[in-house]
Amino acid sequence: MSGNTFGKLFTVTTFGESHGPALGCIVDGCPPGLELTEADLQSDLDRRRPGKTRHETQRREPDQVKILSGVFEGKTTGTPIGMLIENVDQRSKDYGNIMHQFRPAHADYTYHQKYGVRDYRGGGRSSARETAMRVAAGGIAKKYLRQRYGIEINAYLSQLGPIKTEKLDWSHIEKSAFFSPDPDKETELEAYMDALRKEGNSVGARINIVARHVPVGLGEPIFDRIDADIAHAMMSINAVKGVEIGAGFDSVTQKGTEHRDEITADGFLSNHAGGTLGGITSGQDLLVSIALKPTSSLRLPGRSVDTQGNAIEVVTKGRHDPCVGIRATPIAEAMLALVLMDHVLRHRAQNMDVTTDTPIIPAQA
């Protein structure tokens, strides 16, 4: 209830601070019988891991996950899965100067006011380091969804500052230093990021997340529509400031005749809805897009106050991503996986099982 749990039937509860001894989580509700090893989760953790390229924070964390329970002889047992990642490269001294400072656009001020006390080292609990556990938990959901229902979840950078990726080449995403799907924009992105780093500034990004082969019928009206739970999940990711489903904000200027996805016996003729009608999946691809604000930690000085309310100038010297949006890509996938996994279980509770029979119409004409 204090907000550290996500999901209702497939629940993930995380703990851990940026510079504490370890991060951890408990995944409860995983169906028994799923083959699961630490290696299954490590690949996504490696995609999220800092320090892979020069465009990311140079903090070196192996982010090696340990499974402590809930898996026996290579299979999940239906009991809670406890996981742990030790923090290795904390360098607390980097952060000592922020003990009495409120960094602009950070959570320092609000945590201080809310709790009266805060772990200021590296942002403490408000650091995006916590998302490592989400990626680990999301990895379990991803594997189950893929194995049992054939659902595939992928995300990619669709915009970095002013640069929009235009080509959608799925095979390029994992080759790109930016999770970009557009091979033609790789050089431009690199140049932009190098200049940004030199400047000491940061920039925002837009990430698109797509789930394919989603069965019809997932989502619980009224309040726990699939899109509402996706919005919740996405907005819970550090730095996210906007969420769109399907046509998103373009819907504002669309006419009804344009927006409505007509249906034929061969499937839907378009997907402005983004794969959900009335909060329930339609079998079309789930289309989600999110906006991430620029990194708040900057070498360029900014005005702020200290814990006594005195004016100060803040300069952040630590190691930071110039664009936090990039590494949010696997996190966004993980969160979408958690939402779908939760709704698969919720659907099964009331309706036995998710229909994988041929629905009345195919997804897409």
Residues annotated in a binding site for NADP(+)? 48, 54
The region of 50-58, 74-82, 136-144, 166-174 touching a second copy under the rule CB under 8 A is: 74-82
96 lies in the site for a second copy, by CB under 8 A: no
- Using CB under 8 A, which residues numbered 40 to 59 contact a second copy? none
36 lies in the site for a second copy, by CB under 8 A: no
Which one of 61, 63, 65, 70 is in contact with a second copy (CB under 8 A)?
Answer: 70
Q: Could you give the angle at the alpha carbon of 360 between the alpha carbons of 227 and 352, nearest 5°?
A: 65
The region of 36-44, 136-144, 308-316, 326-334 touching a second copy under the rule CB under 8 A is: 308-316
348 lies in the site for a second copy, by CB under 8 A: yes
- The smaller minimum CB distance to a second copy, of residues 114 and 175, is found at 114
Which residue in 288, 5, 263 sits closest to 130, CA to CA? 5
CA 10 to chain centre: 17
C-alpha–C-alpha distance, residues 232 and 162, integer Å: 27
Please tell me the count of residues contacting a second copy according to CB under 8 A: 159
What is each CA distance from 322 to 60, 152, 165, 212, in whole angstroms? 16, 29, 18, 31
Residue 352 and residue 346 in contact, taking contact as beta carbons nearer than 8 Å: no
- Using CB under 8 A, which residues numbered 115 to 154 contact a second copy? 115-119, 124-126, 130
293 lies in the site for a second copy, by CB under 8 A: yes
- The smaller minimum CB distance to a second copy, of residues 168 and 300, is found at 300
End-to-end CA, the chain:
44
202 lies in the site for a second copy, by CB under 8 A: yes
Residue 261 and residue 361 in contact, taking contact as beta carbons nearer than 8 Å: no
Q: Could you give the angle at the alpha carbon of 170 between the alpha carbons of 165 and 173, nearest 5°?
A: 65
- Using CB under 8 A, which residues numbered 228 to 287 contact a second copy? 228-236, 238, 240-265, 269, 272-274, 276-283
Nearest distance from residue 155's CB to a second copy, in Å? 15
